[in-house]
Amino acid sequence: VVPVSALHGDWNAALPLASGDASDMLVAACAAAGAVTLGRIALLQVWEEFAASTDRSNAQVLNVLEGPLDVAQVAVLPAIGEEVLFRGALLPAIGGVPGVAVSSIIFGALHIGGGRSAAFGVWASMVGACYGACALQTGSVAAPAAAHAMANLASAAYWMATRGEEKTD
């Protein structure tokens, strides 16, 4: 068995957890989070299967939380873990645009189930590509992790304010 590092160099250093200019990473993270959030809100209005899948999944998670700290934990911790895995390990192991594509497809596939349909998986793949582009642009996992956490927080807040308990049949 040939180690991956022998095929692609030292890919562990390809996307460090945090490097580069903090203001550039913040701008990239905010842009990605904004794009994901606005895209989600738009799709909830026009894609019935995506909206139903989102409602089922969010009802399972968000309706049982006790307060803002619980929501923050559910939004932030998975975002960090997922970004370290998909954009910090898988993307650089494959490299470049192919790494973004493969990691995004796998990311989307793993977001099917638990009340989430294939429509949600397609959405998650598109979101994964956005986060992958953010990682490539900044050269760091910190920016897509921050974007993912912000988008999760915004999504939770939007869903709880507009779609919450009355639409979860």
**pLDDT tens sequence for the chain (169 residues):** 334 444 455 555 666 666 678 899 999 999 999 999 999 999 999 999 999 999 999 999 999 999 999 999 999 999 999 999 999 999 999 999 999 999 999 999 999 998 899 999 999 999 999 999 999 999 889 999 999 999 999 999 999 999 876 544 4
> Cα 47 to chain center, whole Å?
19
Instruction: Tally Cβ neighbours within 10 Å of residue 116.
Output: 20
Strand partners, 116: 113
Euclidean distance between the first and final Cα of the chain, in Å? 51
Compute CA 122 distance to the chain's CA centroid, rounded to the nearest angstrom: 12
Q: From CA 70, how far away is CA 67, in angstroms rounded? A: 5
How far is Cα 157 from Cα 154, in angstroms, rounded to an integer? 5
Q: How far does Cα 17 stand from its chain's mean position?
A: 16
